[in-house]
Chains A and B, each alone.
Chain A
Amino acid sequence: MNSWVELAWLVPVLPLASAVAIASFGKNLPGKGSEIGVLTLVAAFVVSIGIAWETFSAGTPEPFERAVDWSPLGGGFVFELGMLVDGLTAMMFLLVTTVSLMVHIYSREYMKGEPRFTYFYAMLSLFTFSMLVLVISNNTLQAVIGWELVGLCSYLLIGFYWEEKSNQDAANKAFLTTKFGDVGLVVGVIVLSAGMFGTGTSTPFNIQETNAAAMAGELSTGTIVLGMLLIFLGCVSKSGQMPLHVWLPDAMAGPTPVSALIHAATMVTAGIFLLARLFPVLAQSATVMAVIAIVGVITLFFGGLLALVQDDLKKVLAYSTVSQLGYMIAAIGVGGYTASIFHLFTHGFFKALLFLGAGSLIHAVHSNNMSDMGGMRRAMPHTFWTFIVGSLALAGFPLTAGFFSKDEILIAGDLWAGQGFATGSLVYWVGLAAAFVTTFYMARACFLIFAGENRSHHAPHESGPQMVGPLMLLAVLSIASGYLLSPFSSQEFNFENWTATPFVEDATYPFLDAGTAAGGDTVVAAASSLTLAAEGGEFSILHGVPTWHPDLLAIVLALFSIAVFLAWRFYGKGLPERDPTLQMGAFSRVLVAKYGFDDFGYRFVVVPVRDTFAKWASWSSNVVLDGIVASVGRGTKTAAMTTYRVLDQRVIDGGVNGAAFSAAWWSNRLKRIQSGDVQRYAGALVAGTIVLILAFAAAR
């Protein structure tokens, strides 16, 4: 073995092997198959660490690419099946295997006694495998395969408790909503590859080649804009961006460990990952970046607001995921490549922690609702402090991982604003506002759960070591992972250099003139302390190691304190009689109705598809025909009476009866064709073939 990187194919293959092994003989093992899952995930995790270490210590690592020709498709191009391992892949490997391993361990206790325990573990491993296929792929077609597998596994796992109709509906909703975006993704991939054909390559789906061609300006602007916007549509649905986020909260119907997996590592991150993979392509177009930034900003703010009015703890976390994904998407849209995937990385850890903590709480009180919890601090001390760590990280409290990554996004927005883009300042200010909202709803959740008196009907007790252990480890990671890219990290070995590819290092934004870098009215003070990483004033994609921003720190701390104070005022004494977030009139009503997206979807997508024709028919008969008949009918009544005998009895009845009689006559004749004699059918078939042959021969 020369290096770990060459073993990268093992990382997806191990979970696949695990899934197959569990499915085939897991039931007969003492641990019902869970031990296979855990052990193989440990192995995959070790390999991921090796790969991560090798790529991390290499500065900006050279991508390692290996591919086999899956099949010669003809027409001069090849469908590859391969792996592309660089820092980005290594980072995703590490994230996915860590979170998946934690979930595997955690579920041993959480899912104990489930009748479909083994099936659950097989699906869990398959889910991990699907995501890793997407991550490792060196071409977009393979990525689509992984993408679809992820969608399928999420469908199976969200509908895990399929006995209940609502869970089936949630699974269907998730599947159909993401499938809607997948259509965009597939078409986008085809558009990009069609553009790549123009460059004369034999592997038009290859990601590296696509990036290189886009940077060299070989792809036309139309190809890039259309292709990337369509691919972004896929990311919107998969990564829960508005307005296709509706499936994500419903996906809470699945078991809580699955939610952790979906929200932290395997599903919603797929869209961000794909955008990061193709970042050099989308950086060619200001339009694409603006669209991405705006969708992200809308999602990060309005998604966060929705979390305010939820009582279901998992739904609070779900909407917080929507909001945090909005941050990542917005960061992509304002050139914050590193910021986006860094937030993806840290968010993976603390969101997994929060979900697993929520699972621990739900396990203890047998209810998802925060109004049934309360006073958990004493009963579940370990869950308490790990959950608090996760909440702090999510709220971006200074020196937690969430703080460093979120600030990175805000500063990326600030720098973008410095280039004269309004979307940059939008991300900066809305991001700050949403951070306030985030802090508030997380503080609300924490107070409702942990403060006050126990409102549940059970005597809650701390979960066992297999559940608490992963919580503690993730809590440590939720703080430690932030220091990979912080003012403390070294200039050479940091997250940015790790995940940067040579393409990202060299790429610039062609739509940016070097001269426009000066305009800075909208730049807040923080920007002045920043220097552009690239020499010669060119605005590079990489921003360099961050420095301290005392002003931003002050704003963040102030917002944090205000939000926590407000939450304490409202919820510190336990569940208030009237929840203030529900007392804000129209605002609350809008939030509770989730902006009407679900309603909108039901009314304008489900209903028309289900009964377009019935609606149309009833409308036309009720409104149009009734109206016409009512007005015209009266006038023609007398005339109709006189012609009744002639027209109705003779012509119409005659016509109708005649039609019926002729139909009966003809069908009596024609039914004899259906003799049931196969040989006659065969003869007819050959006769038809002869006619076709003659037709084709004549056409030539």
Chain B
Amino acid sequence: MTGHDAVFLLVALFTGGAALLTVTSKNLFHAALFLAATLAGIAGVFLVLRADFLALVQLVVYVGAVAVLFLFGLMVTRAPIGREALDGQNRGLALAVSGTLFVVLSGLIIQSFGGVRAAEVTGPGIREIGIAIFAHWVLPFELLSMLLLAALIGAILLARRESGESGEESVERRIDFGDEPSTEAGAQALPAADTAGELPAGEPVAGGER
């Protein structure tokens, strides 16, 4: 066991522990913070593995952006603060399945890679990564930018609140994507529709004139 391995072991213990706390913590906000810690720990793993650029990306994108996004998500959805039944009735199933998966996979990994001789860790520099992105991987890279754009638009479209909507609504309310007139206009039209019963069929309802 080299010094390198020792450092890795420390970082791995930190990361694994934080991950475990993420999924077991009784407090939602603590869980999100533990997730941030896990992500930072993974950045540390990248550093140990000599993937400096990825570690930076990991810190900026995940710890900086995604973790904060989750915190926002928790706040906006009015997550109950404090201890609560955060786990469903599926805990037994989850334990069984994930435990089995871990045992099976780690057994297979040790069987397959246990014999691989320890090697010196060398990583590509940022220069090599840059060349690879813009020489070999231009097309996937551009596709990824398209994907992010699509996700951006999609997220806005999904999360956009129509004017006149409030947080709590009935279960039956259908999802409105903006093609229909907004609920404000609908609310105005409703009383007109009530009076429409007296009108002969087929005549346009002119709510404003009545």
Contact = CB atoms under 8 A, between A and B. Distances in A.
A and B directly contacting (CB within 8 A): yes
A683 B100 contact: no
Contacts of A694: 104
A690 B93 CA distance: 14
B90 A680 contact: yes
A27 to B, nearest CB: 21
Contacts of B88: 677, 679
Interface in A637-680: 677, 679-680
Q: Is the interface of A mostly helix, strand, loop or mixed?
A: helix
A680 B101 CA distance: 16
Nearest to A683: B93
A693 interface: yes
Contacts of A683: 90, 93-94, 97
Interface residues on B, range: 10 to 19
A690 B100 CA distance: 8
Contacts of A679: 88, 90, 93-94
Contact of B101 (A677, A689, A697): A689
A433 interface: no
Contacts of B97: 683, 686-687, 690
A680 B108 contact: no
B61 interface: no
B108 A686 contact: no
A680 B97 CA distance: 11
Interface residues of A, number: 11
Contacts of A697: 104, 108
B105 A693 contact: yes
B170 interface: no
Contacts of B100: 687, 690
Interface string B86-108: 00101001100110110011001
Contacts of B101: 686, 689-690
Interface string B124-139: 0000000000000000
A677 B93 CA distance: 13
A201 B108 CA distance: 41
Contacts of A677: 88, 90
A474 B108 CA distance: 75
A689 B108 CA distance: 14
B104 A693 contact: yes
A686 B101 CA distance: 8
Contacts of A687: 97, 100
A452 B94 CA distance: 90
Nearest to A694: B104
A226 B93 CA distance: 58
Contacts of B93: 679-680, 683
Interface string B16-58: 0000000000000000000000000000000000000000000
B12 to A, nearest CB: 23
A16 to B, nearest CB: 20
> Which are the 8 A-B pairs with shortest beta-carbon distances?
A683-B93, A686-B97, A679-B90, A683-B97, A687-B97, A690-B101, A690-B100, A690-B104
Given A679-B90, A690-B101, 6 more contacts: A677-B90, A686-B98, A690-B104, A693-B108, A694-B104, A697-B108
20 contacts: A679-B88, A679-B90, A679-B93, A679-B94, A680-B90, A680-B93, A683-B93, A683-B94, A683-B97, A686-B97, A686-B101, A687-B97, A690-B97, A690-B100, A690-B104, A693-B104, A693-B105, A693-B108, A694-B104, A697-B108
